[in-house]
């Protein structure tokens, strides 16, 4: 191998083993390949196999010969581990992946047929990868796949603990002064989050620790943009050497695909997509259907599911509901029928569903991917946040961006019915205007001259400057 080849940028992308991060990082991988940067995408064995089984990842990336490799390492858990809550193993197992990662990188370095890794883009929740990179003298960049507002909330967490305000009073936190954030709008003060029985460590403490640890990387990538979250980005920039705000990544990727006349269907899911719902949507009137999905991790109780179902049915609107395997804890939910107006799938092609003319509103758990996809498609949201960043995001959706209604902790059948009717009825006029404005703002950020577009160009320069 000649010296020129050795210096060629080779980025190792290492996502946290869950649907949200994998989805975003695969989009980043595709974008980097479009800019002729070599990428090794490193998954856990389990997720690697699911992607091979359910997506077109191999044929899709075949258009980048010599630039893309999809590989895998152990996630530390035994093969028969149930990997609850989506495909996450226990958080403590994830932390043990550092030796597998180190060996993987060393093997590449020792392989004369392969160019060495020049930068690790790791998930901001697996910061042990930054330590591995430092030890091996490789540049590292942390990519956190949550909103900037939530990232900042984690950094401010010690401040919140001292705050004596009640749940309803506004918090006085730098960057958040202009928004009416209450304790119940913060991660960790929400239901199910502080003590998640699925994990043996506190998820909140883990997220906060990893957020502070991310500062050890040379830069931070966030899937957001200046127009949406500038006050929070300004605060984060006081603590991090360099921040690239390159979102929404799905819009940026779509824009570059259109520019290169690329028609490839991009499915990054760990479940098999059921495209029959698109045919069903084709036969529905414009803006007549409520789309319902709670992402890849949220687990509902049977009584929560029933309240939602009654609320949807009583609203009188048609609905398309994603009930992925494991969505409902404990008992079977198969006895809950959809009636004439409902259509249920296990996993939908969500971006296409949100872009369909028949969809008029989105009942969502306010995961960051879902929120960005809904904003880009100008679909108003009915938010029922569950955990992690979701209470922060739903507050911004309802109070700041005004592109939906935040139901927060309340989800009884009458609230669901009333909120669905309000949003499907136009949300008092203002919501329609805001959703159109935000969609336009998002569109402009990812085209030449836009903030995300230019941050992405800077990231590419950074990766090429070895």
Tell me the C-alpha distance between 117 and 115, whole Å. 7
**In the complex, what is the shortest distance from the CB of residue 83 to ligand UDX, in angstroms, rounded to a whole number?**
14
- Please give the torsion angle defined by the CA atoms of residues 18, 60, 111 and 79, in that order, rounded to the nearest 10 degrees: 30
Check binding of 389 to ligand UDX (CB under 6 A): yes
Check binding of 348 to ligand UDX (CB under 6 A): yes
Q: Which of 20, 188, 311, 342 binds ligand UDX (CB under 6 A)?
A: 20
Check binding of 146 to ligand UDX (CB under 6 A): yes
Check binding of 296 to ligand UDX (CB under 6 A): yes
**In the complex, what is the shortest distance from the CB of residue 322 to ligand UDX, in angstroms, rounded to a whole number?**
4
> Tokens standing for 93?
């197992």
Q: Which of 224, 255, 284, 369 binds ligand UDX (CB under 6 A)?
A: 369
**In the complex, what is the shortest distance from the CB of residue 187 to ligand UDX, in angstroms, rounded to a whole number?**
9
**In the complex, what is the shortest distance from the CB of residue 44 to ligand UDX, in angstroms, rounded to a whole number?**
16
Of the two residues 139 and 250, which places its CB atom closer to ligand UDX in the complex? Answer: 250
**In the complex, what is the shortest distance from the CB of residue 372 to ligand UDX, in angstroms, rounded to a whole number?**
8
| In contact, 445 and 226? CB cutoff 8 Å | yes
Cis amide prior to 248 (ω within 30 degrees)? yes
Check binding of 23 to ligand UDX (CB under 6 A): yes
Check binding of 270 to ligand UDX (CB under 6 A): no
Of the two residues 192 and 218, which places its CB atom closer to ligand UDX in the complex? Answer: 192
> Tokens standing for 364?
């969502």
Of the two residues 86 and 116, which places its CB atom closer to ligand UDX in the complex? Answer: 86
Tell me the C-alpha distance between 101 and 132, whole Å. 8
Angle at Cα 71 formed by Cα 127 and Cα 147, nearest 5°?
40
> Tokens standing for 376?
């880009």
> Within 10 A of 443 (CB to CB), how many other CB atoms are there?
16
Q: 222-258 burial, b for 16+ CB within 10 Å, e for fewer? A: bbbbbbbbebbbebbeeebeebbbbbbbbbbbbbbbe
Of the two residues 20 and 398, which places its CB atom closer to ligand UDX in the complex? Answer: 20
**In the complex, what is the shortest distance from the CB of residue 443 to ligand UDX, in angstroms, rounded to a whole number?**
18
Tell me the C-alpha distance between 105 and 217, whole Å. 17
**In the complex, what is the shortest distance from the CB of residue 362 to ligand UDX, in angstroms, rounded to a whole number?**
10
Q: Which residue is nearest to ligand UDX (CB)?
A: 367
Contact positions with ligand UDX (CB under 6 A) in 301-340 = 322
Of the two residues 11 and 383, which places its CB atom closer to ligand UDX in the complex? Answer: 383
Q: Which of 370, 374, 394, 435 binds ligand UDX (CB under 6 A)?
A: 370
Question: Near ligand UDX by CB under 6 A, which window of 60-68, 235-243, 346-354, 355-363?
Answer: 346-354
Question: Near ligand UDX by CB under 6 A, which window of 32-40, 237-245, 291-299, 401-409?
Answer: 291-299
> Tokens standing for 189?
């003060």
Check binding of 347 to ligand UDX (CB under 6 A): yes
Check binding of 388 to ligand UDX (CB under 6 A): yes
**In the complex, what is the shortest distance from the CB of residue 1 to ligand UDX, in angstroms, rounded to a whole number?**
38
Check binding of 368 to ligand UDX (CB under 6 A): yes
**In the complex, what is the shortest distance from the CB of residue 369 to ligand UDX, in angstroms, rounded to a whole number?**
3
Residues in contact with ligand UDX, counted by CB under 6 A, come to a total of 24
Q: Which of 295, 360, 380, 398 binds ligand UDX (CB under 6 A)?
A: 295
Provide the binding-site residues for ligand UDX, judged by CB under 6 A. Answer: 19-20, 23, 145-146, 269, 293, 295-298, 322, 347-348, 350-351, 367-370, 373, 388-390
């Amino acid at each position: 191998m000649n010296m020129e080849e050795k210096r060629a940028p080779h980025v190792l992308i290492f996502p946290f083993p869950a649907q949200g991060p994998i989805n975003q990082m695969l989009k980043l991988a595709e974008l980097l390949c479009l800019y002729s940067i070599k990428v090794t995408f490193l998954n856990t064995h389990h997720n690697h196999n699911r992607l091979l089984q359910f997506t077109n990842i191999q044929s899709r990336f075949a258009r980048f010969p010599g630039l893309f490799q999809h590989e895998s390492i152990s996630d530390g858990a035994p093969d028969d581990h149930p990997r609850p809550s989506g495909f996450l193993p226990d958080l403590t197992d994830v932390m043990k992946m550092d030796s597998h990662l180190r060996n993987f990188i060393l093997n590449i370095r020792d392989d004369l047929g392969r160019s060495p890794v020049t930068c690790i883009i790791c998930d901001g929740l697996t910061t042990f990868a930054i330590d591995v990179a430092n030890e091996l003298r490789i540049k590292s960049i942390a990519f956190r796949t949550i909103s900037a507002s939530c990232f900042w909330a984690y950094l401010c967490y010690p401040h919140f603990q001292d705050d004596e305000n009640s749940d309803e009073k506004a918090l006085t936190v730098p960057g958040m002064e202009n928004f009416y954030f209450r304790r119940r709008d913060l991660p960790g003060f929400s239901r199910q989050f502080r003590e998640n029985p699925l994990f043996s460590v506190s998820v909140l403490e883990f997220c906060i620790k990893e957020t502070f640890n991310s500062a050890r990387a040379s830069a931070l990538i966030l899937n957001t943009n200046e127009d949406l979250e500038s006050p929070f980005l300004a605060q984060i920039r006081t603590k991090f050497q360099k921040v690239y705000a390159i979102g929404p990544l799905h819009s940026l990727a779509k824009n570059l695909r259109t520019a290169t006349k690329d028609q490839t269907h991009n499915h990054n899911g760990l479940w098999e997509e059921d495209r029959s719902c698109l045919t069903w949507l084709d036969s529905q009137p414009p803006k007549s259907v409520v789309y319902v999905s709670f992402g890849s991790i949220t687990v509902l109780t049977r009584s929560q599911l029933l309240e939602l179902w009654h609320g949807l049915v009583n609203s009188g609107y048609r609905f398309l509901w994603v009930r992925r395997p494991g969505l409902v804890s404990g008992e079977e939910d198969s006895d809950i029928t959809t009636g004439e107006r409902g259509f249920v799938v296990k996993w939908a092609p969500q971006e296409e569903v949100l872009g369909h003319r028949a969809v008029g509103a989105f009942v969502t758990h306010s995961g960051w991917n879902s929120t960005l996809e809904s904003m880009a498609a100008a679909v108003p949201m009915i938010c029922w946040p569950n955990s992690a960043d979701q209470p922060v995001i739903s507050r911004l959706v309802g109070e700041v961006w005004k592109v939906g209604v935040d139901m927060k902790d309340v989800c009884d059948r009458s609230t669901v019915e009333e909120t669905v009717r309000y949003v499907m009825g136009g949300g008092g006029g203002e919501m329609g205007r805001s959703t159109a404005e935000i969609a336009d703002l998002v569109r402009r950020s990812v085209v030449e001259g836009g903030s995300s577009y230019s941050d992405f160009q800077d990231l590419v320069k950074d990766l090429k400057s070895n």
